[in-house]
Structure 1
């Protein structure tokens, strides 16, 4: 348990050793990284510092547990650094400036506040549900205030100017008093059970501590405990078996402690053993033995020979590593691994390296965000290795290259092929639970709730969220070139979607006198969600608005997040006018979906909701479609954007790379697949080179680096094999860089949209060719179509039966009704037949 985080200032050198014994410390990013660093530390970035990605990565690479960054840095880092490595630095008055994206992209927040208001901090913690809350205040900190903060789940951050090794005063608190603030004892004597462990966490014994003994241990760095009979017990004072304290930690209940120590002398136990629980075993025992042999092994012994002959020791390490690689059974692997550990640890001891040093190095490597590819060096590899997946963002190879992983369908097992088809697991249930309170708030609170949530999440203070036509001319002023492009796209998309409309009545006489019909009617009220805010997405407004307009929907409500000044981007308003929107809702996220689903005092309720969005929007759509009170449907499930490109020997490497990158830049979770049909290594290398070169020229290269690092090249031997894999994958976008590509379209069974030939980039479908860019992802192309005009229509059937027709059909119906025991159904026919 971390009781407090010390913020280390310039004059803190005397305190630093003591502070590092009781938990991590916080350094300013202005500190020279070449200075000695403890094993656990955070880095606080100054709010005025300009954003430099390399600076952030370098601190994490040298071992920082977390970066505490201002909002401007957080917006840049959340796409490239894992949330568990980021804390948001925020003035308490600026909570409203935090977007959902930022809040979900960090693991906690450091609040700067002039005074500590526990009620306010408890309220803020609800906004950051599931995140760690840290509080930095200029107010004097007392033990009771530390307990109060810990009681509401917040951790105080104390500048070292407020800490002292001396007695607590009004302006400074003794570091031991701060650490002991929450500790409690359930014993009558007030002592605290204390587990004493070695540096590697192996138990040495159980003792008791008092406030006084803990204070002395923290300050002196020596093992000091409380004897129940003799008072303070300074370990080793008489025996010489002293201890250097590495760390002191409280347990989760704050009623017991763990001391990790470096034990000197004969051992911890009064029986001159390493541990009160018996002699050590395994790696700690081996380490102790080797240290002893290093100091006093007799001449002629094998271990002494190893220490004295580095060449022999190196040869034995390589020999045992080879034996381990060849081992197959469980027992053989364990046997050979034990031999390798022995010789490897012998080399470590000879170099003054212990298990603790190895573990520290492992911990430090685990904190790095810059990764090498991990391929074997040429002398250890029988064949070139494909780049490995990069597990931590940003995925950087040793040479900086951005590459896909490569697989050959001829070499993969059925289970491995299935794994190649699998998308990341979407935690839909978890997200639905998170959006439910927002949806419920709008459902019950109407406009008042919507305005409050728009202020909270969209950062716009509004008096009304709905804009009705006619729209103000000054809200639709766009650059003339952009306006011309929008009108061209509008014409193409409308032409294609008008051709899809079902206007004819289907009539079939199933038997004489019995005519069945089917006719289309528009869905009366539709809601179109257009992601936005600071982004400008007129293309999505076109893709959703035009088919609604063509289908003849009576009400078209376009919802999009407002900008901070409360306005909507003029490009989106321009499209809203073109498609005949009946209302524009200035709201985003789950709250906009809820308003469309249930309606408010000013927002019209709709019957079907369309449009892409982030995970909050998607979860809200899934939630409302299953609520019978809402009586609303949605277009389709949504997931990360994806593309599958099939290329053969005719493909232009630059075109292929550009198509892959056009999807990779959407986000770090974008899914990108290249299926290579009989491509030789030279052609594949050309494509990989183009991917790397083009990616490094993109402004969103850090996003691309991650999505491409998780993407794959699948090699296969024929067009039919490639299409079989593609149909199993069911991509959102399928691009065919193939000889006679148009002939291959007949083999496509599952895809959202197909782009045929070298001059049909996916970008054309995204914007202006005429097809719709709202497409099924995550493999749902097996069951769903992309948005089209029929998505905005429903079909009604009718039947007209003449008296003559009923004479023939009626007895059949009555017989079936009798069979099912439905007497009234049969009677409805027979009463007519009797007439």
Structure 2
């Protein structure tokens, strides 16, 4: 939190350089033409004319860190502009007019108040919990250090007009810039000095020194590194050695008891040993930057680095060569090695052009502030990727303008190793992802709702006051269009009918020998958690696919978890399904934090016994983590990976139908797995399919995703139905679509698949939404071992046995003999004591 925020005007040019060193600056709109653009600044809009979204976006793209908007603009911008880029301008009398949507859609508030009333400001801070609070007094009363400190103590920051700031002494009408900056900073040292870390522009430590009020003031005003020697008094760095410093920024730490100076160091270095840092020689990128600067000035003729500086064509060729090497590297070691080479040559070009690492970081920071994003597609000249090693055939034509094509292999000519490669999916780095989600899961386990609310604000960008919605659900949260409601109702009916038929409501009874009756009966899993991916997406289909079998199985508690939207609400379509399936709670959270809440429970989130549902790699990793934690005592439905489809097509296949089926899976994501197995297809037939893929893809809104996933997908040529099905069984796809003559007759040959779609009029989409089967299916080849989600997934089976006296006479000796064989005397005794009782 900055000590204060200066609000500058046209007449503030004299104090601008000093203020630019100590934190963000607030500028009014329109921006004063006499002032340069600050390193960090907010733009204050006080007029309440109609909002121009494009203009606001252009401000943010140009580098404005936050826009302070009037209340009248809020509803137009919230939900479109990220909350962390918006502050709300409020008169103190208007606080009660702020809705939850507005409150959750901004990162803070600028409160205009006639007086600095700490109690009032504290209550506003509670209303805007978790947001930054800034205060602008509308009176002419000047700011004072005590006022700055008092506001900081309640988590608020004072906005000070430029007319009240001065580089001279603090007076009855103005406060000295350095006095305002130092107001909340205190020292716990007997000598009153502030420990000060001195760093480069890029944050690499040069040394530890001490500062005094006087030295900080001089640094702020002059822009030079000035510190306080504990032995010799005021120390102007480089005054005698020539190793001077230009101060870039000065800031306090989180406890306001120490400082950081970021500087541009001149001369031999910061350390008295003529090194850059007091903590030893520089390493990594800072060391490389220093070396390259030195070589630019003094590299001997004929040296390789000198050649690079002098030969632009050679340097360009090396950058392109190393970029290619990095693209085709696969192992962690190779990737780091090739990335290091690329960084070396790229930084050589930068140093030759006078560009520093700090310049690069400033460019990165500026790009990060942009709201408008480019599509991010490759330029046409890079649309074809260079060849990669045979062990990992490279996808081709993943540009923006090239043809959308799949790679082709022929089963009659590939080697066994190449065939195995065709069956290979991308490696899922489970260990890496589990290590990333573990702190999130642990945080929710230990801190419950508090952690869940913080993580939801961080990852889902929604500021909530509660985590769970309990039934009865408010009717206004389930308002959906009539046609959507009717579609959901029909899908619900179909899916319920199919899953109800799967329920095991019978008791299996078998008399294994006279007087020995064994039985098995089903019981529902009591408490289940259903994860429905969402946030900006609307996925009522997944809620149906998970909620209906849970409902049919008779689960007592059904907790549905889904990420909230930016305003903290859940999509009405998902809420309507939650109502239909009888959900006992709706958890407004996504990602690993939602999985953790379901696994361990919190103050408000019920703990569950089994977690179901698809999700991204964070969700998958969290599910894998909690199922192995005995403290959670929770199971999961199945492992998960990217979505996938395998289509088998023969001479009867309609090219348009085949292409549509391939694309319906390819649009899920760039990592979707799409395979076409063609049985003796003529070149003309294959060309027609590929042409349809391209034509249909170009008409899709998600063409950029499709272009990448199709570019990594494969066509496999087979010589017979049997060969095609054998390949499919080895691949074990999530979805198998059969465009075959007499396709239904081939189904008995299918051994491994999540779900099978038989014939030309059975698109995968029907199974995804409403035919009745479940779309939560095993991926990544797990169809060899796992079934898709079904009603039995929500049931468990219990066995029982009942033995009569005569039955024990026949069975007992067998049991006692086996127990003796294993050396378990108590087991044998439990039988023999009963047999002896019968004899007596």
User: Shorter-chain TM-score category?
Assistant: 0.5 to 0.7
Match of 1:502 in 2: 504
| Residues 1:820 and 2:828 are matched in the alignment | no
Match of 2:264 in 1: 261
Assess if the C-alpha contact under 8 Å between 1:547 and 1:789 holds in 2: yes
Please give the alpha-carbon distance, in whole angstroms, between the structure 1 residues aligned to 2:726 and 2:45.
51
Match of 1:769 in 2: 771
| Residues 1:834 and 2:839 are matched in the alignment | yes
Per-residue CA deviations over 1:369-391 (Å, capped at 9, x if unaligned) read: 647456795799866999999xx
Assess if the C-alpha contact under 8 Å between 1:675 and 1:715 holds in 2: yes
Q: 1:97 aligns with which of 84, 97, 100?
A: 100
SS in 1 for 2:219: helix
Displacement, 1:820? 1.4
Q: 2:136 aligns with which of 131, 135, 138?
A: 138
Please give the alpha-carbon distance, in whole angstroms, between the structure 2 residues aligned to 1:568 and 1:325.
43
Match of 1:179 in 2: 181
Displacement, 1:808? 2.6
- For structure 1, the residue ranges without an aligned partner over 5 or more in a row are 294-300, 390-396, 443-452, 665-669
Assess if the C-alpha contact under 8 Å between 1:520 and 1:796 holds in 2: yes
Please give the alpha-carbon distance, in whole angstroms, between the structure 2 residues aligned to 1:45 and 1:548.
52
Per-residue CA deviations over 1:288-326 (Å, capped at 9, x if unaligned) read: 675699xxxxxxx969xx99x999643453576689799
Please give the alpha-carbon distance, in whole angstroms, between the structure 2 residues aligned to 1:554 and 1:30.
61
- Number of positions where the alignment pairs a residue of Structure 1 with one of Structure 2: 760
Match of 1:734 in 2: 735
Per-residue CA deviations over 1:81-124 (Å, capped at 9, x if unaligned) read: xx9xx45646787998369xx98xx9x93344456568668868
SS in 2 for 1:518: strand
Name the CA shift for 1:585/1:757 in 2 (closer, same or farther; >3 Å). same
Match of 1:425 in 2: 433
TM-score (norm 1): 0.65
Per-residue CA deviations over 1:56-96 (Å, capped at 9, x if unaligned) read: 5x667656677889687564467xxxx9xx45646787998
Assess if the C-alpha contact under 8 Å between 2:737 and 2:763 holds in 1: no
Match of 2:108 in 1: 110
Match of 1:713 in 2: 712
Please give the alpha-carbon distance, in whole angstroms, between the structure 1 residues aligned to 2:689 and 2:786.
33
Please give the alpha-carbon distance, in whole angstroms, between the structure 2 residues aligned to 1:477 and 1:333.
54
Assess if the C-alpha contact under 8 Å between 1:663 and 1:672 holds in 2: yes
Match of 1:215 in 2: 217
Please give the alpha-carbon distance, in whole angstroms, between the structure 2 residues aligned to 1:802 and 1:384.
71
Displacement, 1:825? 1.6
Assess if the C-alpha contact under 8 Å between 1:194 and 1:207 holds in 2: yes
Matches for 1:140-539 after TM superposition, within 5 Å: 142-144=144-146, 146-147=148-149, 156=157, 158=159, 160-161=161-162, 164-166=165-167, 167-168=169-170, 173-185=175-187, 190-192=192-194, 209-225=211-227, 244-250=246-252, 254-261=257-264, 263=266, 283-284=289-290, 287=293, 290=296, 313-318=311-316, 344=349, 347-348=352-353, 357=359, 360-361=362-363, 364=366, 370=374, 372-373=376-377, 377=381, 419-421=426-428, 425=433, 429-436=438-445, 456-457=465-466, 465-467=470-472, 485-486=487-488, 488-520=490-522
Please give the alpha-carbon distance, in whole angstroms, between the structure 2 residues aligned to 1:259 and 1:527.
49
Greater mean deviation of Cα atoms: 312-321 or 266-275: 266-275
Please give the alpha-carbon distance, in whole angstroms, between the structure 2 residues aligned to 1:344 and 1:792.
61
SS in 2 for 1:660: helix
Assess if the C-alpha contact under 8 Å between 1:89 and 1:109 holds in 2: yes
Assess if the C-alpha contact under 8 Å between 2:388 and 2:394 holds in 1: no
Assess if the C-alpha contact under 8 Å between 2:10 and 2:32 holds in 1: no
Per-residue CA deviations over 1:763-784 (Å, capped at 9, x if unaligned) read: 3223321113455678876665
Assess if the C-alpha contact under 8 Å between 2:4 and 2:160 holds in 1: no
Name the CA shift for 1:400/1:321 in 2 (closer, same or farther; >3 Å). closer
Please give the alpha-carbon distance, in whole angstroms, between the structure 2 residues aligned to 1:747 and 1:217.
80
Displacement, 1:614? 10
Displacement, 1:588? 5.3
SS in 2 for 1:156: strand
| Residues 1:660 and 2:660 are matched in the alignment | no
Per-residue CA deviations over 1:481-536 (Å, capped at 9, x if unaligned) read: 55654554344334423432335553444335544333445668888888999998
CA RMSD in angstroms comes to 6.9
Greater mean deviation of Cα atoms: 612-621 or 750-759: 612-621
SS in 1 for 2:17: helix
Please give the alpha-carbon distance, in whole angstroms, between the structure 1 residues aligned to 2:271 and 2:795.
85
Please give the alpha-carbon distance, in whole angstroms, between the structure 2 residues aligned to 1:338 and 1:595.
42
SS in 2 for 1:260: strand
Please give the alpha-carbon distance, in whole angstroms, between the structure 1 residues aligned to 2:246 and 2:835.
100
Greater mean deviation of Cα atoms: 419-428 or 13-22: 419-428
Match of 1:393 in 2: none
Assess if the C-alpha contact under 8 Å between 2:468 and 2:588 holds in 1: no
Name the CA shift for 1:827/1:41 in 2 (closer, same or farther; >3 Å). farther
TM-score (norm 2): 0.65
Name the CA shift for 1:767/1:826 in 2 (closer, same or farther; >3 Å). same
Please give the alpha-carbon distance, in whole angstroms, between the structure 1 residues aligned to 2:63 and 2:235.
36
SS in 1 for 2:503: coil
Please give the alpha-carbon distance, in whole angstroms, between the structure 2 residues aligned to 1:30 and 1:285.
45
Matches for 1:529-678 after TM superposition, within 5 Å: 543=545, 546-547=548-549, 553=554, 636=637, 642-646=643-647, 652=656, 655-656=660-661, 658-660=663-665, 663-664=668-669, 672-677=672-677
Please give the alpha-carbon distance, in whole angstroms, between the structure 1 residues aligned to 2:30 and 2:100.
26
Greater mean deviation of Cα atoms: 588-597 or 422-431: 588-597
Displacement, 1:788? 2.5
SS in 2 for 1:764: helix
Name the CA shift for 1:202/1:684 in 2 (closer, same or farther; >3 Å). farther
Assess if the C-alpha contact under 8 Å between 1:528 and 1:559 holds in 2: yes
Displacement, 1:176? 1.8
SS in 2 for 1:246: strand
Assess if the C-alpha contact under 8 Å between 1:388 and 1:405 holds in 2: no
Assess if the C-alpha contact under 8 Å between 1:507 and 1:518 holds in 2: yes
Please give the alpha-carbon distance, in whole angstroms, between the structure 2 residues aligned to 1:638 and 1:371.
32
SS in 1 for 2:817: helix
Match of 1:808 in 2: 810
Assess if the C-alpha contact under 8 Å between 1:529 and 1:613 holds in 2: yes
Please give the alpha-carbon distance, in whole angstroms, between the structure 2 residues aligned to 1:27 and 1:647.
63
Assess if the C-alpha contact under 8 Å between 1:646 and 1:722 holds in 2: no
Match of 2:22 in 1: 22
Name the CA shift for 1:55/1:690 in 2 (closer, same or farther; >3 Å). farther
Per-residue CA deviations over 1:413-465 (Å, capped at 9, x if unaligned) read: 989956445579365544444544786899xxxxxxxxxx99933798xxxx5
Match of 1:392 in 2: none
SS in 1 for 2:674: strand
Displacement, 1:813? 1.9
Assess if the C-alpha contact under 8 Å between 1:407 and 1:713 holds in 2: no
SS in 1 for 2:494: helix
